[in-house]
Chains A and B, each alone.
Chain A
């Protein structure tokens, strides 16, 4: 068994890597002295993959919106009942989540790790889906969709995505709609499973105080498919560079308007180390423009235009990237105009290098803090892995990223012509 070691002495972290013959890679990030073990088994498949050509097929398969998330629910059901019950009996908490580009199955345990890990490896590899259980799940997921319909922070986010994107499936709700999930059946679920749940399209990560050799041995003996599989052809419609709708609005039972402002990033290279560079550059720039130490933040706050709910982030995935800034505001349009004004001012006057260096150091420090949490490590690791990079590459990013590079990203990303505003207004 060949095990690669990635060591980051500067921050006392180490990562072990093992590749199974199927093409599946497994990773262990040991956390000495931790009580909790956290294991994730993830597939590179999420809500955006609603059109594809399966290996061996010649035709494009199109599937109903929300099917990746539906499949996530259904995998927990096994021939002898729900596997959740078995995790529960061990006292561990199983969970799963579906995002745009990944579906992740996981558990947190504090003991009996290998028994829990066996359950995880087994159930994800053994779907048992009956028509009757698919129908029953429609009631549960229907309520999940209804819950999100009432969730203003979720709505303001998806309305923004609809504003930014015209064709890209990232604009579609992850869980689909009550109407779209009515078209889900046993057959299309198995089609998706067989296409996307091959080990070569998946990854395993374990964090906690575990013996990495034992983890890899268990992976080796538990993965059933041992041949690698050809690439899946994922079909995406061509997305225009321009935003779809510069403004969207919805009325809901909220007390204060909520808003999200998005910058559509069409110049991003979404794969590999470059994508991490772009991500950190945009994050530094967001802090420089409207972070808590910036003049703009303090002005907006003092004028009552934003409150402490204001926050921002940058998302970069295989075929889309955007930054978003938002929170509660009595006047979202003015916040947008002021941010645009500040970007234009910085474009003219230039960015301050001292601010850049200080904020870079702060973001680097925050990244180190995130390594306290086994959950956080897992949440950060998986999307980065599917972008063909490694979580610990971020340390190289902080060493290599330059002010000059960040200035280029500033000019490219913060384009006032590429913004969309989404607002939720009180009724």
Chain B
């Protein structure tokens, strides 16, 4: 058992049939939550199907055969909240099913919301509305259309689109370059039968991680475990970890034109650092000094000193060993901003890090990590990541490791970072 903080205890309470069950006990929240994750390797072949399965499952289950019936039942359960979908962590493709509900004591009458919510979630996963061994044809057509539009609508959020495109260009021949919702051109070939078969594959063979969080009686948690063990499982897929180290042969330059007022500049880097490396914390501190807050070199130089941007930051893609620098600028300033970014990174490689930058970064990370403990979803997300990379650290031990990072460690991390791709979205 590891301690999440003084109040939040994470414990692994069961493991069977490729299902691991974790319990995060906490009393400070108004809600309890259940998260069920199916974990796959990200690949083009499965991406769109993995995205479509939850979209179909949410359309109805045995006792609540339509989307509206599920919504109505959630309202009866005092506004319980259910959602499902896909995301990626590095080259893991995660299909998530989530439900939360207010604690029984706030509900007013004698009702066990946890049991009802657990049952609903399992029913949505286990007993979809199907006909003749396939999802309903019209539902499949509607969700395929929704997915196609969702993929097309990526361009609506220019800043996020630019970051995603930068990574995709960079990792064009690696699994990470696959968009978590798949490719629009793959969608039309998917039949209701294919999708149902794929759903079977997901349910039977993908590793499952289950997180139960909140103030729940032991016997209710035990009965939830029993229900999970009834899921029929076959041989469980072995997942591959992402490769986080790669030589850069030449720097890629990609310019995309769109009707925009502001240019979005993204620089993609290889950190050549695995999330499980003992040096990972050095990279974490490096990134925070470079572009993780108002104290950072990017914010201070691009925004405060040069007034060239409203935002300028760097961010790690921890699970793939990547880092992106992102800023919204006047297109004519592109080269100047690139020079500033690279100059800051040269400075860091040379160890030019002020006490203020160093201390602020350590303290900022400490605050950020401690703050995770105030949100059930953040706690779950943190431990999901830790479980995937088989890391042992909890919040407290992670903070201790970050505090132990020295300037020499940061310089070592800096030396491994290589510019790979410059992406620019402009008019």
Contact = CB atoms under 8 A, between A and B. Distances in A.
A324 to B, nearest CB: 18
Nearest to A306: B146
B69 to A, nearest CB: 8
A101 B231 CA distance: 53
B5 interface: yes
A291 B259 CA distance: 35
Interface in B67-88: 67-68, 71-72, 74-81
Contacts of A373: 374-375
A255 B153 contact: yes
Contacts of B157: 151
A307 interface: yes
Nearest to B377: A372
Contact of B308 (A143, A253, A361, A368): A143
A109 B371 CA distance: 8
Nearest to B357: A88
Interface in B22-41: 26-31
Contacts of B112: none
A253 B102 CA distance: 41
A258 B293 CA distance: 32
B295 A33 contact: no
A61 B251 CA distance: 56
Given A256-B153, A293-B71, A85 B356 contact: yes
Nearest to A32: B28
B4 to A, nearest CB: 10
Contacts, number: 197
A111 B367 contact: yes
A292 B71 contact: yes
B126 to A, nearest CB: 22
Given A139-B307, A253-B258, A254-B153, A92 B30 contact: no
A136 interface: yes
Contact of A365 (B78, B258, B364, B365): B78
B373 interface: yes
A253 B260 contact: yes
B371 A108 contact: yes
A31 B29 CA distance: 10
B310 A33 contact: no
Contacts of B71: 291-293, 297
Contacts of B374: 34-36, 373-374
Contact of A293 (B68, B158, B293, B356): B68
Contacts of A372: 29-31, 375-376
Contacts of A110: 366-367, 370-371
B30 A371 contact: yes
Contacts of B294: 82, 84-85, 87-88, 93-94
Given A140-B309, A308-B146, A108 B367 contact: yes
Interface string A366-377: 101101111000
Contacts of A137: 307
Contacts of B304: 82
A89 B367 contact: no
Contacts of A89: 295, 356, 359-360, 363
B28 A31 contact: yes
Given A94-B294, A307-B146, A253 B72 contact: no
Nearest to B259: A253
A255 B152 contact: yes
A308 to B, nearest CB: 7
A304 interface: yes
B360 A143 contact: no
Contact of B360 (A32, A91, A149, A366): A91
A81 to B, nearest CB: 10
Contact of B142 (A10, A302, A365): A302
Contacts of B376: 372
A358 B68 contact: no
- Which of B5, B261, B365 is the most central at the interface, judged by chain A CB atoms within 10 Å of its CB? B261
Contact of B79 (A10, A256, A301, A362): A362
Interface string B277-306: 000000000000000011100000001100
A225 B373 CA distance: 38
B interface residue count range (under 10 / 10 to 19 / 20 to 34 / 35 or more): 35 or more
A66 B31 CA distance: 40
Given A88-B360, A91-B364, A298 B66 contact: yes
A5 B303 CA distance: 44
Contact of A368 (B6, B102, B150, B303): B102
Contacts of B295: 84-85, 88-89
Nearest to B100: A369
A138 B366 CA distance: 33
Nearest to B149: A256
A192 interface: no
A146 interface: yes
Interface in A303-360: 304, 307-308, 328, 358-359
- Which of A33, A91, A140, A368 is the most central at the interface, judged by chain B CB atoms within 10 Å of its CB? A91
Given A256-B149, A307-B149, A298 B68 contact: yes
A79 to B, nearest CB: 16
A184 interface: no
Contacts of A237: none
Nearest to A136: B307
Interface string B148-184: 0110111111110000000000000000000000000
A364 to B, nearest CB: 7
A304 B140 CA distance: 12
B145 interface: yes
B330 interface: yes
A153 B31 contact: no
Interface string A72-110: 000000000010110111111110000000000000111
A412 interface: no
A11 B106 contact: yes
A332 to B, nearest CB: 14
A187 interface: no
B367 A365 contact: no
A301 B138 CA distance: 12
- Which of A137, A139, A147 is the most central at the interface, judged by chain B CB atoms within 10 Å of its CB? A147
Interface of B: 5-7, 26-31, 66-68, 71-72, 74-81, 100-102, 106-107, 138, 142, 145-146, 149-150, 152-159, 258-262, 293-295, 303-304, 307-311, 328-330, 356, 359-360, 362-367, 370-371, 373-376
29 contacts: A33-B7, A34-B28, A34-B374, A85-B356, A88-B360, A89-B360, A89-B363, A94-B294, A109-B367, A110-B367, A136-B307, A140-B303, A140-B310, A143-B309, A252-B259, A254-B153, A255-B154, A255-B156, A256-B153, A328-B149, A358-B76, A361-B76, A362-B76, A365-B106, A365-B107, A368-B102, A368-B106, A369-B31, A369-B81
Given A150-B261, A365-B77, 4 more contacts: A34-B28, A35-B5, A89-B295, A256-B149
10 cross-chain pairs, A with B, having the tightest CB-CB distances, nearest first: A91-B363, A139-B307, A365-B79, A365-B78, A362-B79, A88-B295, A255-B152, A292-B71, A362-B75, A110-B370
